[in-house]
Amino acid sequence: MAQYDFLFFDLDGTLLSPDHRTVSHENQEALREAKSAGIKLAFATGRCLGMIPHETLELGLDFAVTSNGAAIYDLRQGEQIYQYPFPAEEAAAACEVIEQYLDFYELFVNGKVLLIRAQRAEAAGLTMPPWGHFYIERRGSLPPMTSIRPFLAEGAPGLEKINIIECPRSELLSLHQELARLGHFDLSSSMSYGGIEAVPKACSKGNAIRWLCKELGIGLTRCAAFGDSSNDREMLAAVGCGVAMENAPEDLKAAARCVAPPYDQDGIARFIRQHVL
């Protein structure tokens, strides 16, 4: 009998390979073995749905918790079943601060990417990794806007997350502190190149998992979750077995119940076969 009924996987630095787009053969096989054992599987990512690689979606997982817990999709039925609304007035306050530092940032809206950029700002000029350009330019994107004001005036419909793609290191801490002082947001990052992710207070992967498990009648103690970044902290604390990857920061590993081998050494597959099946 399997040790757990439900497994949740962060993507970047956890389930995905270093190219941030594919899943290794061993990890794919371990997911199939878990699914064959009757275990439910879900992504739990800071990405919006449109930024999950199509190769990964084709692995046949059951659910996707996206945008740091702002949305949940039933992948079997192809429908959204949960959304944590981002109040327009809070979004306006955040964007007013952000625009003092940057002329380019993005919103996750109904599973897609909405770019907000001044006329002088171009995505091609950013130093983000190539996979970031791929998703911004080719996948999950809405027509870019040069001002967020019209979107806010409509009530920011479907807004899931505000994502600061790149901020100069010299200004990143100041921007983070100004957003924190507003008191409206949970701030985190799963990126290593100057990013900040803002969602409303009480929106997290952990709370989204709590909601989903309650709906399905699955006890949290029968769940395990895998992650590597600060936006995974509440998720790892919410479940019976929170697993940090070996490549995670030391404070996250110290807070986790278990530590899995590094993501680039098939850590997910090795943990599933040794401790789940």
| Digit-coded pLDDT (tens) for 90-102 | 999 999 999 999 8
On the question of pLDDT at 73 being above 80, the answer is: yes
Spatial CA neighbour of 231 closest among 208, 211, 260:
208
Domain-embedded: residue 104 = yes
Number of domains in the chain: 2
Please give the pLDDT value at position 204: 96
Residue 147 half-sphere exposure toward CB, CA atoms < 13 A:
3
My answer on whether 190 and 221 are in the same domain is no
- Distance in angstroms (rounded) separating the CA atoms of residues 128 and 113: 16
Please give the pLDDT value at position 71: 98
Among residues 200, 216, 246, the one where a domain terminates is 200
Please give the pLDDT value at position 121: 53
My answer on whether 126 and 230 are in the same domain is no
Q: CATH no. for residue 158?
A: 3.30.1240.10
My answer on whether 23 and 126 are in the same domain is no
Domain-embedded: residue 1 = no
- Structure confidence at residue 142 as a pLDDT band (50, 70, 90): confident
Among residues 200, 234, 253, the one where a domain terminates is 200
Q: CATH no. for residue 50?
A: 3.40.50.1000
My answer on whether 118 and 178 are in the same domain is yes
- Distance in angstroms (rounded) separating the CA atoms of residues 187 and 231: 8
On the question of pLDDT at 276 being above 90, the answer is: yes
Domain that holds residue 70: 6-82+204-276
On the question of pLDDT at 192 being above 80, the answer is: no
Spatial CA neighbour of 224 closest among 40, 33, 17:
40
Largest CA distance in the chain: 58
My answer on whether 93 and 177 are in the same domain is yes
Mean pLDDT value across residues 134-151: 73
My answer on whether 74 and 42 are in the same domain is yes
Spatial CA neighbour of 51 closest among 34, 33, 64:
64
My answer on whether 98 and 69 are in the same domain is no
My answer on whether 73 and 92 are in the same domain is no
Please give the pLDDT value at position 125: 54
Among residues 179, 200, 221, the one where a domain terminates is 200
What is the rounded average pLDDT for all residues in the chain?
Answer: 90
Please give the pLDDT value at position 94: 96
Domain-embedded: residue 130 = yes
On the question of pLDDT at 190 being above 70, the answer is: no
Strand order in the sheet with 40-44: 79-83, 71-74, 63-66, 40-44, 6-9, 223-227, 241-245, 258-260
Other beta carbons less than 10 A from residue 4's beta carbon: 22
Please give the pLDDT value at position 92: 96
- Structure confidence at residue 273 as a pLDDT band (50, 70, 90): very high
Place of tokens 């809070």: 90
Please give the pLDDT value at position 89: 96
Domain-embedded: residue 172 = yes
Domain-embedded: residue 35 = yes
My answer on whether 234 and 144 are in the same domain is no
My answer on whether 50 and 25 are in the same domain is yes
Mean pLDDT value across residues 104-130: 72
Prediction pTM value: 0.92
Domain-embedded: residue 267 = yes
Written as six digits, the tokens of 17 are 């390979």
My answer on whether 52 and 105 are in the same domain is no
My answer on whether 208 and 196 are in the same domain is no
Between 187 and 103, the higher pLDDT residue = 187
Written as six digits, the tokens of 256 are 């986790």
